[in-house]
A and B are shown apart, each in its own frame.
Chain A
Amino acid sequence: MKDKEILMEVKDLVTRFYTEDGVVKALEGVSFNLYKGETLALVGETGCGKSVTALSILRLLSISGKTLKGEVLFYDDETKKRLDMSKEGPIEILKLEQSDMLKVRGFGMALITQDPMTSLNPVYTVGDQLMEVIKLHKKLSDDEAKKIAIELLEDVELTPPEDIFKKYPHQLSGGQRQRIVISISLAAEPALIFADEPTTALDVTIQARVLELMQELKEEFQTSLILITHNLGIVAETSDRVGVMYAGRVVEIADKYTLFKRPLHPYSQGLIAAVPVITEKREALSYIAGTVPNLIHPPSGCRFHPRCPYATEICKEKVPELKAVETDDHFVECWHVDEVIKDLDKKGGVC
C-alpha cells in the first residue's frame, strides 16, 4: 500500500438547485476520501453530479444552488497556517466564513474549468490574469510576480513565455488557453486541484499531451488531483483511484486496477462493459438499459434501481450505504453486492 495520508474527507454532501421547473436534487449524499498526492477520478454520465461536487466543495455554486447538508474536512497544514487556525484537526470547509473561504480558494484548492474558449476573461491579457492569482496569495512585488508567471508559462510549455504573457485569450488556440488555465490553477501551489473535464474540449491530438503535462506538473508541485471526466480512457491512463458517480451519489470507489478488473456495482459494470475493446469480437455495442434519471423527480431508494438487473423491493425503498467490500479500499453501495460478486466470479471477472 502506498503511504496514505488523508487530505480531504467528503461526507454526505447534499446540494440542490432551485429552478423554475422544480428542485433539482443534484447531490444526494456524496461521500469519498482523497489522499495526498493521488489522482482521484470521478466518472459518470453527464448530469450525475461530478461538476456539482467540485463546485459544492469550492462553494462556487450559482445563485440557485445551495449545499444543504454535509461535511468537507480539509487536512492541509499550509492552508491551516494561512487561516491562522491553531486548533487540532481539519478545516471544516462548509462552515468557513466567506473571508476565510476566499483564502482557501486558489491557495488550498484550485479549479480547472472545462471549456478553454470561455474560461478566460477576454478583455484582459493572459499574463494579467495569471499575475492576479500570484499577487493575491503571495506578497510579492510586480517584478517578482512576473518572474514567477513567466516560469509557470514555461512549465506549461507555452513558448516564448514573454510573448504569450502579453497576449489576449482570443489570440491563442484552445490548447494554449487550457494550458493557461492549468498554470493559473498551479500558480498559488494549492494542495488540491479540481480538473473538470480538462481535455474534453480539446483536439484529440492535444489531449494526450495536456494530460501528460498535468501528470508531470502534479508530481512537480506535489498536488492532489480530482479529475472529473466521463472518458474511461483518460481514467485508465492517469488516475490512481476511481470514484463512480450516479445520479448524485458515489456508488463505487476503488483503486484503478480493481475497478477496471472487478467492478462490483451494477452501474460500474455497465460502464466498463460499454467500452468497446479492439481485441474483442462483439456483435453490437453493449449499453445500459434505460435513461438517465430526472433529478427533479428522482427514483426512490437506490436511484439506479429502474435500470438495475438486481433490483428488488428494498432497492426501491432504501438508499444503500457505501460499505467496504472485499478489501478495506474498495467501497460499494448496493443491497445485492453479494449476488453481484457471485455472478462476477462465475464469469471469472469482467475484463
Chain B
Amino acid sequence: MREYIAKKLAIAVLVLIGVYTITFFLTFMLPGDPARVSLGQHGSEEAVELIRAQWGLDEPRYVQYVEYLKNFIKGDMGVSFRYYPREVIYLIRYRFPVTAYYGLWSIIFAVAISVPLGVMAAYKQNTIIDNIAVLISQIGVSLPNFWLGMMLIAIISVKLGWINPVPDVEYGYIWTPIGFFASLKDYALPIITVGTGMMASNTRLTRSSMLEVVREDYITLARSKGLSERVVIMKHALRNALIPVVTNVGLQFLLLVGGAVLTETVFGINGIGKLYIDAINYRDYPVVIALTLIYTGGVVLINLFVDILYSKIDPRVSLR
C-alpha cells in the first residue's frame, strides 16, 4: 500500500508541475498589465513602474516562475494583485468556509436522498416509486444547474419571497455547531442547485447497482438460508451495491468546483468560485495560479483517497 501511495504521489507531483507551468505561462498571455489594471486610468507612469517592481513583474519570466514556485512550497502563496497588499492565503482562507459549507451540505443532501431512493426504486422495480425515481434522475442529470439556480431564485425568492436570494449570513457563524444547521435555510437554494445533479446521478447508479446485485446467485443462496428479506437486502445486497456508489460520491467532490463557480455567479456568493473568476478577469495572477494548484492538488488527493477507500471496502481489489 505504501508503495502505491508513493507512486501515485510521485506522478501527482509531475502533474502538478506540468499544470503549474502551463497555467503560469498562459496567464501571462492574458492581455493587460496587471499593475495598470489595478491602478486604473489615473495612475501615473511612475506609480505603475513602482508597483511592477514591487510585484516583481519586471523580472524575467523564468525568474518569476522559479521564485513563485519556491515560495509556494514554503507556504507563501504571494500577494494578491487586486487586493494588494492582502496575501493570497488570507483571501482563500476567508472565502473557503462558505464554499465548503454549502458544498458539504450539497453532498449530504445528494447522498441522503439518492441512496434510499435508489434502493427503494430497485427493490420495487417498475412500480410508481421506480418510475418516479428514474424520471427524477433523468431530469436531474440533464438539468443545467445554473439554470436551476436561476429558476429557484425567480420562483422561490422573487415570486414567493420565502428565501433571500443572496445568503445574508455572517461567515463566522456557519461553521459553529448551531450555525451549521441554522444557516441551512439561507443556503437552501444554492445547496439544492448544486446537489440536485449529484443526487440524480447517484440515484441512477444506486438503482442500477442494486438491480444488478439482487440478481446475483449469492443473493439467492442467502435467501435459501432462511434469512429474512430485510437482512438479505441490508446485509448482503447493499454492501455490494454501494461499492460503486461510494467511489462515485468521492468523485463528486471534484464536481463541486465547477458547481461552485457557476453557483456563486448565479447567487452572488462570495466564495472560492467567485474569487477564481474575478481573479481571471482582473489579471490577479497569484490568485489564479494558487487556486489552480490547490485545485489540481485536491483532485489528486481525492482520487488517491477514493482508490484507497475502494480497496478497503471491496476485498477483491488490491492496489497495484
Do A and B have CB atoms closer than 8 angstroms in the complex? yes
Instruction: Encode contact with B along A95-129: 1 for CB under 8 Å, 0 otherwise.
Output: 00000001111110011011100111111100000
Within 8 A of B (CB), among A257-284: none
**Nearest A residue (CB) for B218:** A121
Known: A63-B125, A113-B217, A113-B220. A122 touches B226 (CB 8 A): no
- Contact check, B223 vs A119: say whether CB atoms are below 8 A apart: no
Q: How far is the CA of A115 from the CA of B221 in the complex (A)?
A: 11
B315 near A122 with CB under 8 A, answer yes
- Cα distance, A185 to B125, chains bound together (Å): 30
Determine how close the nearest CB of chain B comes to the CB of A219; give it in whole angstroms: 23
Counting CB contacts under 8 A, is B54 at the interface?
no
**Inter-chain contact A60/B220, CB cutoff 8 Å:** yes
B227 within 8 A of A: yes
Q: Is A34 an interface residue (CB 8 A)?
A: no
What chain B residues lie within 8 Å of A114 (beta carbons)?
Answer: 217
Given contacts A121-B236, A122-B314, A123-B239, contact A105 B217 (CB under 8 A): no
- Residues on A with C-beta less than 8 A from B222 are 121
B225 x A123 contact (CB < 8 A)? no
Asked if residues B125 and A111 are in contact (CB atoms below 8 Å), the reply is no
In the complex, A137 has a CB within 8 A of chain B:
yes
* A105 pairs with B313, CB closer than 8 A: no
Name A185's closest neighbour in chain B (CB-CB).
Answer: B224
Q: Is the CB of A137 within 8 A of B226?
A: yes
- Cα separation A121 to B125 with both chains bound (whole Å): 23
Contact A120 to B226, CB < 8 A, known contacts A63-B125, A168-B315, A170-B315: no
Q: Are B316 and A105 in contact (CB under 8 A)?
A: no
Please provide the chain B residues from 190 to 227 with a CB less than 8 Å away from any CB of chain A in the complex: 215-218, 220-227
Contact B224 A122 (CB under 8 A): no
Residues of B within 8 A of A111 (CB): 220-221, 224
Query: B218, B224, B236, B239: which contacts A105 (Cβ < 8 A)?
Result: B224
CB–CB A113/B225 < 8 A: no
Give the shortest distance, in Å, between A61 (CB) and chain B (any CB).
10
| Cα of A168 to Cα of B125 in the assembled complex, Å | 31
Tell yes or no: A132 within 8 A of B by CB: yes
* Separation of A97 and B72 alpha carbons in the complex (Å): 69
Using A119-B217, A123-B239 as known contacts, say yes or no to A105 and B314 having CB atoms under 8 A apart.
Answer: no
Q: Do A60 and B223 touch (CB < 8 A)?
A: yes
Choose among B221, B228, B236, B239 the residue that contacts A113 (Cβ–Cβ < 8 A).
Answer: B221
B292 on the interface (CB 8 Å rule)?
no
CA distance A245 to B136 in the complex (A): 47
Secondary structure type dominating chain B contacts = helix
Interface flag for B240 (CB, 8 Å): yes
B221 touches A103 (CB 8 A): no
A184 close to B (CB within 8 Å): yes
Rounded to whole Å, the gap between the CB of A152 and the closest CB of chain B is 14
Q: Do the beta carbons of B216 and A132 come within 8 Å of each other?
A: no
> Given the complex, which residues of A lie within 8 Å of B243, measured CB to CB?
123
Among A106, A118, A123, which residue has its beta carbon within 8 angstroms of that of B314? A123
* 287-319 of chain B: CB within 8 A of chain A: 313-316
Q: How far is the CA of A133 from the CA of B222 in the complex (A)?
A: 9
Within 8 A of B (CB), among A24-68: 55, 58, 60, 62-63
Residues of B within 8 A of A62 (CB): 215
Give the CA-CA distance A124 to B239 in the complex, in Å: 9
Q: Give B235-260 interface residues, CB cut-off 8 Å to A.
A: 236, 239-240, 243
Distance A33 CA – B170 CA, assembled complex (angstroms): 78
Q: Most chain-A CB neighbours within 10 Å: which of B217, B221, B315? A: B221
A124 to B237, CA, bound (A): 11
Min Cβ gap A198→B in Å is: 13
Shortest beta-carbon distance from A108 to chain B in Å: 9
Q: How far is the CA of A214 from the CA of B227 in the complex (A)?
A: 24
In the complex, whether A181 has a CB less than 8 A from a CB of chain B is yes
Determine the chain B residues whose CB is within 8 A of the CB of A188 once the complex forms: 226
Contact B225 A184 (CB under 8 A): yes
Q: Residue on B with the closest CB to A105?
A: B226
Q: Is A324 in contact with chain B by the CB < 8 A criterion?
A: no
Binary B-proximity of A128-140 (CB < 8 A = 1, otherwise 0): 0000110011000
In the complex, A4→B307 CA distance in Å? 60
**A100–B243 alpha-carbon span in the complex (Å):** 33
A55 to B217, CA, bound (A): 12
**Residues of chain A with a CB closer than 8 A to B227's CB:** 102, 132, 136
Chain B residues whose C-beta falls within 8 Å of the C-beta of A119 in the assembled complex: 217-218, 221
Q: Which of these, B224, B236, B240, contacts A58 with CB under 8 Å?
A: B224
Complex CA gap A205/B217 in Å reads: 24
B224 and A118 within 8 A (CB): no
Convert B119-159 into 0s and 1s, putting 1 for each residue whose CB lies closer than 8 angstroms to a CB of A: 00000010000000000000000000000000000000000
Known: A113-B217, A115-B217, A170-B315. A121 touches B224 (CB 8 A): no
Given contacts A63-B125, A123-B315, A168-B316, contact A102 B221 (CB under 8 A): no
- Nearest residue, chain A, Cβ from B124: A63
Whole-angstrom distance between the alpha carbons of A62 and B256 in the complex?
40
Residues on B with beta carbons closer than 8 Å to the beta carbon of A104? 226
Q: Which residues of A contact B218 (CB under 8 A)?
A: 118-122
Q: Are B224 and A106 in contact (CB-based, < 8 A)?
A: yes
Query: Which residues of A sit under 8 angstroms from B125, Cβ to Cβ?
Result: 63
What's the Cα separation between A120 and B236 when bound, in Å?
10
Residues of B with C-beta under 8 A to A121:
218, 222, 236, 239-240
Provide a sorted-by-A list of 6 A–B residue pairs whose CB atoms are within 8 angstroms: A60-B220, A110-B225, A111-B220, A119-B218, A120-B221, A122-B218
Q: Which 6 A-B pairs have the closest CB atoms?
A: A106-B226, A105-B226, A111-B224, A118-B217, A106-B225, A121-B218
Which positions in B face A, CB cutoff 8 Å?
Answer: 125, 215-218, 220-228, 236, 239-240, 243, 313-316
If A105-B226, A106-B224 are given as contacts, then 18 extra A-B residue pairs at C-beta distance below 8 Å, sorted by A number, are A55-B220, A58-B224, A62-B215, A105-B223, A106-B226, A110-B224, A113-B220, A121-B222, A121-B236, A121-B239, A122-B314, A123-B239, A123-B314, A132-B225, A132-B227, A136-B226, A137-B226, A188-B226
